[in-house]
Amino acid sequence: MSLYRISARKLSEAQKLPNVGAYVRMIAADGKSLRDVLAAKVPQEQERVKNFRKQHGATKMGETTIDMMYGGMRGIKALVTETSVLDADEGIRFRGLSIPECQKVLPAADGGTEPLPEGLFWLLLTGEVPTKSQVQQLSREWAERAALPQHVVTMLNNMPTTLHPMSQFAAAVTALNHDSKFAKAYSDGVHKSKYWEYVYEDSMDLIAKLPVVAATIYCNTYRGGKGSRSIDSSLDWSANFVKMLGYDNAPFTELMRLYLTIHSDHEGGNVSAHTVHLVGSALSDPYLSFAAGLNGLAGPLHGLANQEVLVWLRKLQKEAGNNPSEEQLKEYIWKTLKSGQVVPGYGHAVLRKTDPRYTCQREFALKHLPEDETFQLVSKIYKVVPPILTETGKVKNPWPNVDAHSGVLLQYYGMKEMNYYTVLFGVSRALGVLASLVWDRALGLPIERPKSFSTDLLVKMVQK
């Protein structure tokens, strides 16, 4: 009974959570490592979810209709994801914090203003905002874990440059599975309650190695194999990545920090996050789970969107010039729509207002490249497109999403290889999906196995 009272009190506290500030607590003890914080938090969350299920397990969350089945589960409330929540109007919240809030409270690098992705990973994993020294500690830890095994380097160097960077990326991550601590622990018969610890270790190793893998692919594919793979332990994750890619440019490093932060998570229902969760629920290790997610990210409807924006912009510039008037823009946009195409970079399956990820990139551009011709074009499009889409009367969301801006910024700093952009997206997305995977195992979420029916069976069912 006393145990029940304690649990009830915790649930009672949870009830107060609509106050955003309550989601996040500043860490009192400065010295705790990420692993320590997580180890303390996991049993609490396990208890909370267990009690929650006991009390409300049978509560109805919604219904499924045949339209929903045929419609790709659109909107079906079928997944639990702790790391981020997507509100149709406000956009993404990482553990309750909006992007502007993250930019405000997450530690930046010395001399920088954008949040470090290391800090975001800490937040996603623990629900708490780290101190600057904790973030620096995480940077160092990732640097220490970053070295690639020789067999993966050999494999990468054997890949033809004609092989798409995303295929190279997925294959290399798959090969890293050789060192999976989870796979080894599982085959040694480790107890289920400890799965999360090994998933954590694999996730940390994998995240640390991703910039090296990604930079190796970039240098092999686009720079004739030149470039360094060495990690400078005094630099943060993004700075090391930019250096290995061969760019020596402080604002570009800041852009990379921003990019890697804002693309990291977008709740659990998008294809890459859902694939990682699904594959991980069969207890595949983090390397294989993430590789599967990358295969989903490579899909044009998911990960290629910013490339489609750039392609469309180039066609626009070719046809209407680099500095078209608003009238010329309107004419081109209507032409796009009437030919049955969509305006790439606009609209979203869930969002119904301007994507905050677009907004913060726009602010970055206003600060660092306000005079850039292409940025000015994007800005003008932002002014012109929403009224047109609204006018068509059949668009739920006429506002821009993250992809409307990200390619333009990368182009400005000289990274013009569009096929590579999804790899960057993949490096960033690892932070969200792997943090979520750690929690899936911590909470003991079972294998995902929905039921499927053929159309004939469905007909029989509904005709009863």
Partner 1 sequence: MQKTNNYKSFKIFFKNVPFRSYPDCKNGKGSGLKAKLAKKIPIEREKFLGIKCLHGKKIIGQISVNSVIGGMRGLPLLFCETSSLDKNKGIYYRGKLLKDVCAKLPRVQEGTQEGTPEGCFFLLTSGSMPTKKEAQEVTNEWLKRGSVPRYCLRMIDSMDKRVHPMAQLCAASACLNPQSQFVEAYTKGARRADYWKYSYEDSMNLIAMLPTVAAAIYSNVFRDGEGSREVNYEEDWSGNFCRMLGLPEKDFVDLMRLYMILHADHESGNVSAHACHLVGTALSDPFLSFSASMCGLAGPLHGLANQEVLVWLTKLRKAIGDDPSDEELKKFIDDTLKGGQVIPGYGHAVLRDTDPRFVLQNEFAMKHCKDDPGVKLVTRLWKIIPEVLKKLNKVANPYPNVDAHSGVLLQHYCLKELKFYTVLFGVSRALGVLSQLIWSRALGAPIERPKSFSSIEICKFINEADKKAGKKNNKKKC
Residue among 383, 367, 365, 366 nearest 325 (CA)? 383
Dist. CA 290–CA 417, nearest whole Å: 23
Read off the tokens for 201: 């270790």
Dist. CA 266–CA 274, nearest whole Å: 11
Is 248 noted as a catalytic residue in this protein? Answer: no
Among positions 137, 220, 270, 359, the unique one binding partner 1 when judged by CB under 8 A: 270
Active-site hit among 87, 164, 302, 368: 302
Read off the tokens for 352: 């119904």
Q: Are 157 and 132 in contact (CB under 8 A)?
A: no
Among positions 5, 60, 226, 338, the unique one binding partner 1 when judged by CB under 8 A: 60
Is 202 noted as a catalytic residue in this protein? Answer: no
The contacts of residue 391 (CB under 8 Å, 6+ apart) are none
Read off the tokens for 52: 């929650």
Is residue 162 involved in binding partner 1 (CB under 8 A)?
Answer: yes
* 229-258 footprint of partner 1 as x/- string (CB under 8 A): ------------------------------
Alpha helices (runs of H) in 115-194, residue ranges in sequence order: 117-126, 132-144, 150-157, 165-175, 181-187
Among positions 82, 118, 128, 205, the unique one binding partner 1 when judged by CB under 8 A: 82
Is residue 76 involved in binding partner 1 (CB under 8 A)?
Answer: yes
Looking at the Cβ atoms of 250 and 459, the one nearer to partner 1 is 459
Among positions 112, 117, 119, 269, the unique one binding partner 1 when judged by CB under 8 A: 269
Looking at the Cβ atoms of 29 and 158, the one nearer to partner 1 is 158
Q: Per CB under 8 A, which of residues 347..366 are in contact with partner 1?
A: 347-350
Is 178 noted as a catalytic residue in this protein? Answer: no
Dist. CA 448–CA 329, nearest whole Å: 47
Residue among 104, 111, 179 nearest 145 (CA)? 179
Q: What minimum distance in Å lies between the beta carbon of 411 and partner 1?
A: 19
Q: Per CB under 8 A, which of residues 279..298 are in contact with partner 1?
A: 279-284, 287-289, 291-293, 295-298
Is residue 98 involved in binding partner 1 (CB under 8 A)?
Answer: no
Looking at the Cβ atoms of 96 and 112, the one nearer to partner 1 is 96
The contacts of residue 353 (CB under 8 Å, 6+ apart) are 88, 89, 90, 91, 397, 399
Active-site hit among 179, 265, 403, 440: 403
Active-site hit among 348, 355, 405, 440: 348
List residues with catalytic annotation: 302, 348, 403
